[in-house]
Amino acid sequence: MNLQFSAKEVQDLFVAWLALGLAFAIFFERSVNGLLQEGIVLPLVVSLLTAGVAFLLHELAHKVVAVRFDQVAEFRADYSMLFVAIMSAVVGFLFAAPGAVHHRGYLTEREHGLIAFAGPVMNLVLAVVFVPVLVVGAGGGSGLITEIGAKGIIINLFLAAFNLIPFGSLDGRTVVGWSKVVWVVSFVVSAGLAILAYILLFANGLGF
């Protein structure tokens, strides 16, 4: 597998990562003023390590699988939507559509479905990765590590479930077109885990 990144793609990935980190930092702190009062560096770092990584690896998973199927694939940031993400966070809600991996070449329905499915699967894997981070933070009394673990879990589970919604350009629409069974199982699991994580983490104020 020949996985290559153009200078433009690296730039777009980096800008999207920073913009989403800033948007989520503002959203988590409830406002720009809240972010400035808390100090921008630490909330930004937490958001880059949780939301930023979640989005970044989601898109890279699409690219890796696409290249595995001999596609020419590159991520392109949507700069106007990155601006919308930051502005929406400023006014109190968050809408993030940072861009997408574009690929070209012949694909079977199964291959197309697997490329789309790779993103949500990556987010489910990342949610699992953040579980020991949460455990270590909570067990060691570290509020910062606990926050990173908790946010990493809930953000990745939410992204997995959200992207599996079979609507518009979301991954779920392509996955349904490939396999309804795979879609039902993955959506139920990711949505169920997201709700459970919300109850256990948000409701108990862990990391938020």
pLDDT tens digit at each of 208 positions of the chain = 778 899 999 999 999 999 999 998 888 876 555 555 666 788 889 999 999 999 999 999 999 999 999 898 999 999 999 999 999 888 888 888 889 999 887 889 999 999 999 999 999 999 999 999 999 988 877 788 988 999 999 999 999 999 999 988 889 999 999 999 999 999 999 999 999 988 887 666 654 5
Q: Please tell me whether residues 69 and 152 are part of one structural domain.
A: no
- Smallest Cα–Cα separation from 120: which of 159, 66, 152? 159
What is d(CA 85, CA 95) in angstroms, rounded to the nearest whole number?
5
Residue 195 domain flag: yes
Q: Considering its fold, how many domains does the chain have in total?
A: 2
98 and 128 co-located in one domain? no
Residues whose CB is less than 8 angstroms from the CB of residue 17 and which lie 6 or more positions away in sequence, other chains included = 48, 52, 53, 55, 56
Q: Are residues 97 and 7 in the same domain?
A: yes
Amino acid (1-letter code) at residue 36: L
Q: What is the predicted pLDDT for the residue at 32?
A: 58
Q: Are residues 159 and 90 in the same domain?
A: no
Report the alpha-carbon distance of residue 127 to residue 154 in Å, rounded. Answer: 7
Are 89 and 154 found together in one domain?
Answer: no
Tell me whether residue 108 is in a domain.
Answer: no
Look at residue 91 in the predicted model and tell me its pLDDT: 83
Catalytic (active-site) positions:
59
First to last CA, the chain: 41
Q: What is the pLDDT of residue 48?
A: 95
What tokens appear for 88 in the block?
């929406």
The verdict on 137 and 56 lying in the same domain is: no
In a domain, 115, yes or no: no
Hey, how many other C-beta atoms are within 10 angstroms of the C-beta on 57?
Answer: 18
The Cα 94–Cα 32 span in angstroms is 13
Q: Which of 71, 102, 133 is the last residue of a domain?
A: 102
Structure token pair of residue 128: 């699992």
153 located within any domain: yes
This prediction's pTM:
0.89
The per-residue pLDDT for 65 is 96
Domain membership flag for residue 176: yes
pLDDT at 203: 62
Residue 107 lies in a domain: no
